[in-house]
Structure 1
């Protein structure tokens, strides 16, 4: 019976590369000179910390980071931006969490979207941090993929393990 899995994953190596490229660009750009701007990645907690003198420079720093992430193929939907807050010595800080995996609420949203498609014979089953979708017809599965790409816009989804 044909099936595939719906997952939400982040390639952490690509995130590391994007953060590295963005921090190198920040050190060479004139508009970031003497602003104390920095980008730091914490692999264990899956967070990116942005530091700068003013909120405007912080937003520009976030833009540089987002450009690099997009070029490396990391979806911006996986970023959970925290508020801009005061840090030491009058600087500003923003913590961006990387959201990976399908929690129960997101998995339920995926299964609800599959049921809303109204395609007969398609079954969705939550298995940990993924959703397994099965059907007797391969064409039905392809239409489910198209439907999910169209209707799931809150978080990134990938389709893996397609089997006939």
Structure 2
């Protein structure tokens, strides 16, 4: 019997790159003439994996989110890993908006990915292992087809394909 090949489907975010983007955005907000004295600020909770934007108005909050988004893109962080919540009124006229940085594949998404792969009718086996999926097959070509199929799908978060052997 031929040796089985496999790869893992994971969803990870490099928090160091998020921290770097946060620092760059904070500096840009402090220097930009339209945001300098506006009272807008960004905070990063690395442990809780949350970004918080506080601003005096909704328009300013959107500008700050655009700044942090552009810095994340430049640092190679996929924006689909950052889920922004609703704008919440804060003290006075100010507003606050929180974003959660998603890492790992939840059970619902994992089962949807698994179902989609099985729906392709390719000869492969998909197992869910915690917050990742392992796809295995006797044929490496089949695994390449699965990766190509998954790259064409949108599951609301970035996917990486690791441990290909």
Query: Shorter-chain TM-score category?
Result: over 0.9
1:150 shift after superposition: 0.3
Q: Select 2:52's aligned residue among 49, 65, 72.
A: 49
TM-score between the two structures when normalised by the length of structure 2: 0.95
Residue 101 (structure 1) aligns with: 104
Residue 140 (structure 2) aligns with: 138
1:90 shift after superposition: 2.2
In structure 1, C-alpha distance between the alignment counterparts of 2:39 and 2:81, rounded to whole Å: 26
Counterpart secondary structure, 1:83: coil
Task: From the two aligned structures, give the one with the greater helix fraction.
Answer: 1
Residue 39 (structure 1) aligns with: 42
RMSD value over aligned CA atoms?
0.9
1:118 shift after superposition: 1.8
TM-score between the two structures when normalised by the length of structure 1: 0.96
Contact 1:124 1:131 in 2 (8 A): yes
1:131 shift after superposition: 0.3
Contact 1:41 1:47 in 2 (8 A): yes
The one-character-per-residue Cα deviations of 1:26-77 (angstroms, maximum 9, x if unpaired) are: 0000010221111110011110000111100100100000000011111111
In structure 2, C-alpha distance between the alignment counterparts of 1:21 and 1:63, rounded to whole Å: 13
Contact 1:27 1:33 in 2 (8 A): yes
31-40 or 140-149, larger mean C-alpha shift:
31-40
Residue 12 (structure 1) aligns with: 15
Residue 128 (structure 1) aligns with: 130
1:152 shift after superposition: 2.9
Equivalenced residues, count: 162
In structure 1, C-alpha distance between the alignment counterparts of 2:75 and 2:145, rounded to whole Å: 28
1:114 shift after superposition: 0.8
Q: Select 2:26's aligned residue among 23, 26, 31.
A: 23
Counterpart secondary structure, 1:151: coil
- Structure 1 segments, 4+ long, off by >3 Å, are none
Residue 77 (structure 1) aligns with: 80
1:128 shift after superposition: 0.7
> Any gaps of 5 or more consecutive residues in structure 2?
none
